A and B are shown apart, each in its own frame.
Chain A
Amino acid sequence: MTLTEPAVADSEAAPAAAPGSSPVPSATPRILAQPFLTSDAATVGRLFVVVSLLLALGTSVIGVLLSLGRTEAVAPADMFAGLNAYFRMWTLYRVSFMLLVVLPLLLGVAMAVVPSQVGAGNLAFPRAALASFWSWLIGALIIVVSVFAGGGWGAIDGVTGNENDAMALTLLGTGMVIVALLVGAVSVATTVISLRQTGMSLLDVPPFSWSMLVAAAVWLFTLPVAIANIVLIYADLRGRPAIAFGRAESPDIWLQLDWLVEQPAVYIMAVPVLGIAIEAVGAAVGARSSRPEAVTIIVGLFGLLAVGGWSQDYFTAPQDLRDGLVYVAFGLAAVLPLVALAGGAAELVLRGTKTPDRLLDARMVGAGAALKLLGAAALVGALRVIEPLDLLETTATWAVFHGVVVAGLIAGVVALRNWSHELLICPLSQAVGRGAVALLLSGGGLLVLSDLISAFLADDPDLMDLALDGSTALNVVAFVGSVLVAVGVAAAVVGAVSALRTPTAGSEAA
């Protein structure tokens, strides 16, 4: 048996026991053992989706508390027992939304959907995919526990109290999570490259599979750079007082990693969103694109603009690269593929069936919402890199981040509705889908808007946006946005979990 072959146990039932003999134990993994033994792509994908949605719930609750700290209701220092603890939560919120929520959510969808889209029986390296899930989950737990134990990614300048060992553990967890996601990405990309049906060229691959191939390639180019950062910080931090890169009493560690959640690297979360959106619109109105190759090029171009390992400014001289032509060009150009894709989606709607029930389908509404938020984020990103506006070190950074993250969450909901057969047991309810999308869109929109206006109002750059003169009302708006996002995520979790339960005879009849 090769390493790529699925376990026989998954497909073959045990022989029936002879009359009178003792029952033969089944070779199929039992329900409790299944998550540890399965080599079925859909099961691994489902595990990723469910756990990342649960983590999304926790992360969005942290977001609510953080935004409450920005209002005048509670002082940030009182919120989490000290300003440093607030900083730990502030960084956890950002890292978590990227590495523990959006990327694994979309990867999980890909693991379940891509094999059937390209005509492969299963993922390439199914056991590696399962290993990627478990190492991702263990890494995620290490991150969360170590941050609560006084670790994290650095501290506010001059503030003491962080534990070196806990910080090393946070770095270890971050590295583990990134490696796990990369293993999953290799598995998905190899499936598209090697296992697609004979006669299917890469240009014939469905948009979502193509977007995942592009996303996997971009992740493989971008995330290993963060591993290099972590290796450097860890080598400096471990076992003795750090001298250069791992100082525990400064924000240095975070400043070496923050490029991951800023432009252009933040768009690595958005590449699969494009594929999901275009497929969901097509499925909702029952139309196929007249220019599929255009979609292929647009997604590829957007992926190219999301490669971001080069954009870290921690190691450069003060005249940093963010004023450079390439950074500005990347920021401005990111809008173009999104506009082009929105045009492609509009073409699908024009060519499809335009009945009210189809136009109000959760997939249609969700795809539109995801593209709108992503477009808004890219637009803010374009404004951010225009030097005279002076928005680089302001909350505009987080407007882009929030737009992309919430678009990723909406795409997850759309995928749950569009590929219910692969991802869930019952279809995700139409009402739950629409409700979750509406809540996420309004919450994400408020976050993007408040962060953008705050950026224009802020007098001085502020790492954590704690002192925004004259923007108290905006901070309240951001708080409302965070609450809406949290409620939207909760609705998606409840909908997904209830759709994962096998329907009873009574419910089927109903």
Chain B
Amino acid sequence: MRTTALPAAEATRPRTGVVGALLATGAVFMAFAALVAVYVQQRQMAQAAGQEWFGEGSVELGPAGMMMMTLLLSMVTVQWAVQAARTEDRPHGFIALGVTLMFGAAVINQFWFVYQDTAFAIDGGRAELLFYAVTGAFIAMLIGGMAMVAVTTIRSLMGPFGRELAHGVQAAAAYWHMCVLCYFLVWYIVFVTK
């Protein structure tokens, strides 16, 4: 019987960018989780000793909830960008990435309002110091995520969406989702449970 040699399967390009971004995202999450853990530990010790953590009414929940909503919406838009990149839909991809960036900028603006509103001094005590350390670290992470989204947007302006760029969008989206998860921790631990 004559056998026919089957053609070799097309080699799939390894998703190195996505894998690398996921590993880096995990590392960033560990750093942030450690910072939050110290915050919780210190607050627990202070409250166990009968000390007040934040003064009554000094940290408002309203702006923090608004930021949570904004970031939840940004999760949808960044996933929209991933889908657009998969289907090589440039107009939708641009809009989704642009709106995600706008949401990121809005959150930074709202944090600026929170800082003005609370008017904490960084050397006011452990609570104030940790407040700035945790929220400042989050803002730095968010700026990193915005930079990733911006780079992806600029690269998509230079040519059609391809598999490689789709991987870039996926990597940026994975990092962005992690940022939102981190903000959820901030929202619940710093603003809700105070």
Judge whether B20 and A227 touch: CB under 8 Å: no
Q: Which residue of chain A is the closest to B34 with respect to CB atoms?
A: A228
Q: Does A220 contact B (CB under 8 A)?
A: yes
Q: Are B129 and A189 in contact (CB under 8 A)?
A: no
Taking the closest CB of chain A, its distance from the CB of B106, in whole angstroms, is 25
Chain B contact residues (Cβ within 8 angstroms of A): what range?
A: 20 to 34
B118 to chain A, nearest CB (A): 16
Q: Whose C-beta in chain B lies nearest to the C-beta of A239?
A: B122
Q: Residue of B at shortest CB range from A233?
A: B133
Tell me the complex Cα distance, A187–B24, Å.
10
With a cutoff of 8 Å between Cβ atoms, the chain B residues found around residue A244 in the complex are 126, 129
Evaluate contact between B31 and A225: CB separation under 8 angstroms. yes
- Among B35-43, B62-70, B77-85, the stretch that binds chain A is B35-43
Residue among B11, B27, B38, B125 having the largest count of chain A Cβ atoms under 10 Å: B27
CB within 8 Å for A186 and B133 given contacts A224-B31, A224-B34, A232-B38? no
In the complex the two chains form, what is the Cα distance from A370 to B34 in whole Å?
33
Q: How far in angstroms is the closest Cβ of chain A from B170?
A: 13
Q: Is the pair B16, A195 in contact by a Cβ cutoff of 8 Å?
A: yes
Per the bound structure, the CA–CA distance linking A220 and B33 in Å amounts to 13
Q: Which of A263-271, A309-317, A431-439, A502-510 contacts B (4 or more CB under 8 A)?
A: A309-317
Query: Residue A190 contacts which of B20, B30, B32, B164 (CB distance < 8 angstroms)?
Result: B20
Once the chains bind, are B20 and A220 in contact (CB under 8 Å)? Answer: no
Kindly state whether residue A2 has any CB partner on chain B within 8 Å: yes
Contacts of A315 on B, CB cut-off 8 Å? Answer: 37-38, 41-42
When the two chains form their complex, are residues A236 and B24 in contact, meaning their CB atoms are under 8 A apart?
no
Q: Could you tell me if B30 and A221 are in contact, using CB atoms closer than 8 angstroms?
A: yes
Kindly state whether residue B189 has any CB partner on chain A within 8 Å.
Answer: no
Chain A CB within 8 A of B45 CB: yes
B20 contacts which of A124, A222, A240 (Cβ < 8 Å)? A124
Query: Are A190 and B34 in touch, CB under 8 angstroms?
Result: no
- Give the residue of B28, B35, B41, B129 whose beta carbon is less than 8 angstroms from that of A316: B41
Chain B positions within 8 Å of A93 at CB level: none
Partner of A2 from the list B31, B32, B133, B164 (CB cut-off 8 Å) is: B164
Among B4-34, those with CB < 8 Å from A are: 11, 14-17, 19-20, 23-24, 26-28, 30-32, 34
Chain B residues within an 8 Å CB radius of A124: 16, 19-20
B123, A232: Cβ atoms closer than 8 Å: no
Query: Judging by beta carbons under 8 Å apart, are B16 and A235 in contact?
Result: no
Instruction: Report Cα–Cα, A216/B26, bound state, in Å.
Output: 12
Which residues of B are found within 8 Å of A355, using beta-carbon distances?
A: none
A182-B27 CB under 8 A given contacts A231-B133, A315-B42: yes
A136 within 8 A of B: no
A224 to B133, CA, bound (A): 15
Query: Which of A190, A195, A228, A316 interacts with B31 by CB under 8 Å?
Result: A228
Give the shortest distance, in Å, between A210 (CB) and chain B (any CB).
Answer: 16
Q: Are A227 and B41 touching (Cβ within 8 A)? A: no
Q: Tell me, in angstroms, the Cα distance from A193 to B24 when the chains sit together.
A: 14
User: Are B19 and A194 in contact, with the CB atoms below 8 A?
Assistant: yes
Contact in complex: B11, A220 (CB < 8 Å): no
B160 partner residues in chain A, CB cutoff 8 A: none
B119-131: contact bitstring with A at CB < 8 Å (1 yes, 0 no)?
0001101100110
Please list the residues of chain B having a beta carbon within 8 angstroms of any beta carbon in chain A. 11, 14-17, 19-20, 23-24, 26-28, 30-32, 34-35, 37-38, 41-42, 45, 122-123, 125-126, 129-130, 132-133, 136-137, 164
Question: What are 11 pairs between A and B in contact, CB < 8 Å?
Answer: A2-B164, A4-B16, A125-B20, A190-B16, A190-B19, A193-B19, A221-B30, A225-B30, A225-B34, A241-B123, A309-B30
Given contacts A224-B27, A231-B137, 9 further A-B contacts (CB under 8 A): A186-B20, A194-B14, A195-B14, A224-B30, A227-B31, A228-B137, A232-B38, A245-B129, A315-B42
